[in-house]
Structure 1
Amino acid sequence: MQIVLSAEVEALLQRQLNSGKYQNAIEVILAGIKLLEQQEDIYQGRLQDLQQEARIGWEASQRGEVVDGATAIAQIRANVRSSYGVSNEA
């Protein structure tokens, strides 16, 4: 199999080799593949977290435990004010 690299990718590969961190192009490519795999694992984990959070929100909405955005912001501001002893006067 032959891989043709764009000039930009070739320059990036050469910079990595010139840094002395890698002995050859294969090492650079393998490092890139490893990072890609790690990134995909992170995204997959985050996707699962988001799906769980969405499920929790949906279940709360089905129980009537949600408020509109303006009410939520007002509650957050009130909590911050009471936590830091800030008065409601602006």
Structure 2
Amino acid sequence: MKATNMRTLTVSLTPHQAAMMESAIESGGYASNSEIVRDALRLWAQREEVRQMELASLKKAYDEGMASGEGRAVDADTLLAELKAEARRRG
């Protein structure tokens, strides 16, 4: 990235977080604090993308469930017996 495309921000870190960043730079894992922050933001963006996909999947499952018809009341013993019977049929 060109320096002209960069924006300077100020962030507050705990002493532990600052020490972790310093250690990462001293060990050669990262070249600078900025590199660490950019990497953390990339990971955050990936996590948010996965979260959005999971939410979409849950919404789809909910919508399919709602569209599948009227529910029915069932007690635990009946449900367990039905699940066992289905498992036996499947082998």
Using structure 1 for the length normalisation, give the TM-score: 0.70
- Read off the aligned partner of 2:70 and give its amino acid letter: G
Matching residue of 1:50? 58
Over aligned residues, Cα RMSD in angstroms? Answer: 2.4
2:82 maps to which of 75, 82, 86? 75
Identity %: 22
| Count of residues in Structure 1 that have an aligned counterpart in Structure 2 | 82
Give the counterpart letter for 1:17 in structure 2: I
Quote the residue 1:64 is aligned against: 70
Runs of 5+ unmatched residues, structure 2: 1-8
In structure 2, the CA distance between the partners of 1:6 and 1:33, relative to structure 1 (3 Å rule), is same
Kindly provide the amino acid, as one letter, of the partner of residue 55 in structure 2. Answer: L
Output the TM-score relative to the length of structure 2.
0.69
Question: Could you say what secondary structure the match of 2:43 adopts?
Answer: helix
Q: Work out the CA distance in 2 between the residues paired with 1:30 and 1:66.
A: 51
Cα distance, 1:68 vs. partner? 3.4
The structural deviation recorded for 1:66 is 5.4
36-45 vs 11-20, which moves further: 11-20
